[in-house]
Amino acid sequence: MQIHLHTTAPTTTATIWPLLKEQPLPEQVQAAQGDFKGDLNETQLVYSADGQKHWLLGLGEKPSSHDYLRAIRKLTYTQKSKFPAAVSLNLTGLPVDAIEAIVLGTLGGGYNLKLYHTTTPEVSPFYSQLGQLNLTVAAADREAAQQAIDRATIIWEAQKAMLDLMNAPSNYKTPQVLADWAVASGRTYGYSVTVMDHDELARLGYNALLSVGQGSENPPMMLVLDYNPANATGSTVGLVGKGVTFDTGGISIKQSTNMHLMKSDMGGAAAVLGTLEVAARLKLPRRVVGVVPTTENVVDGMATKPGDVITSYLGKTIEIIDTDAEGRVILADGLGHMIRHIQPDVLIDLATLTGNVIAALGYQAGGLFTQNDELSAQLQASGDRTGERLWRLPLWDVYKDDLTSDVADVKNYSGKPINGAIAAAKFLEVFTEKHPAWAHLDIAGMAFADTEFGQQKNATAFGIRLLIDFLTR
């Protein structure tokens, strides 16, 4: 699809009108608009006197960035079979800061979840190589709109790659596949990628990561992505993402009901991989380093057993109470690598870590854990701007008792049916060596969710827009 920017509406046979509640209706459809009110996600297809199609899309009274994105994405996804090759999108009555989200939503409407169908699905002409999106904005907004289009296009291409990776089944997505993607992206967009294989990890003592992967024939790896432009200024930001490409739970095996969805357990890695590519393509003037410990957590005779004690890269010992609490274990070595070798000014980890955070926040926000009030405010503000929301939960030291082990420095699971997300965050805090600007984002409820793309939960690419907004500001 090609995107063309206009300051006067072009002549096309189909126009989408995103409209705020109480916003005046366009002249072309005033006689045919029926009872359209402009409520959020309300849609109506009407025809003007000359036979042209007009889709009215309600945005509600005070839409967030996420509302803009989801509303236009749902409309374009569900109606794309009715679109001609060229569609106009008239944004003249909307704020300029909504353009990025609306373009992202429109591009997202063409996503195809049917990655492995043997029959080729019919492609809407609008989403083919010949498709055209004619975007109409006010003349005063033209420059800002073009910047938003360019930015949205780059973000969407990274998001789509991450959607495909996360939605891929585990037999198509091993740690090596993540490594290959990172290497190819780094080569294309000019940032360095180092892949630490099993033998190097063993030689250097990354035993926490190795312990989780030792039951799999696909060896674990550590990926280090370093975007360090010549004009870098300000703080170096380190991002650590959990990259479990499939999680059976190990010996503490999960129930079978939803285990097939555990191909999603690399949502933190997806956020980090996508963010590094976008940062490089946008040429952000800031050093950003991503570390992705990646592995499978499966079962065979060599798998780590409950009660085992392992020694992490930082030298701290961990008693494994529950092998299904594996994400925090591999993050211990990811954080350890970042602390020892990168020493970033700001350190953020992201992980689909606990079901407990979903019990607390549902599917509306990720959990945010940090001792740094300024960092918390910045991340929450970025979440509010992008619609990828975060909500802060406590990291009080009264929760340290959940980590007490009789035989090791810490244990990986408290055994309690309460405050599981907080206990996991307190565990990770041990491996930050009291970093003054560390934040943990538990995105279990946000990275894989119900969308219009499929009948069961699928990937959302959560975290990329959030982190790019944070890095930019």
The DSSP code sequence of 193-240 is: EEEE-HHHHHHHT-HHHHHHHTT-SS--EEEEEEE--TT--S--EEEE
- Dihedral of the alpha carbons of 261, 266, 271, 272, in degrees to the nearest 10: -170
pLDDT, tens digit (0-9, with 9 covering 90-100), for 299-331: 999 999 999 999 999 999 999 999 999 999 999
What pLDDT is stored for residue 12 in this prediction?
A: 84
What pLDDT is stored for residue 33 in this prediction?
A: 62
What pLDDT is stored for residue 9 in this prediction?
A: 86
For the segment(s) 156-472, the CATH number from 1.10.760.10, 3.40.50.720, 3.40.630.10, 3.30.565.10 is 3.40.630.10
Average pLDDT, the chain: 96
Question: Of the candidates 437, 330, 350, 354, which has an alpha carbon nearest to the alpha carbon of residue 390?
Answer: 350
Low-confidence ranges of the chain (pLDDT < 70): 31-33
pLDDT, tens digit (0-9, with 9 covering 90-100), for 53-65: 999 999 999 999 9
Answer yes or no: are the C-beta atoms of 350 and 272 closer than 8 Å. yes
Q: Which residues contact 331 (CB under 8 A, 6 or more apart)?
A: 240, 242, 293, 349, 351, 428, 431
Active site residues: 254, 328
What pLDDT is stored for residue 177 in this prediction?
A: 98
Model pTM score: 0.96
Domain coordinates in residue numbering, the chain: 2-138, 156-472
| Fold of the CATH domain 2-138 | Leucine Aminopeptidase, subunit E; domain 1 (3.40.220)
- Give the C-alpha separation, 359 to 382, whole Å: 23
pLDDT, tens digit (0-9, with 9 covering 90-100), for 136-189: 999 999 999 999 999 999 999 999 999 999 999 999 999 999 999 999 999 999
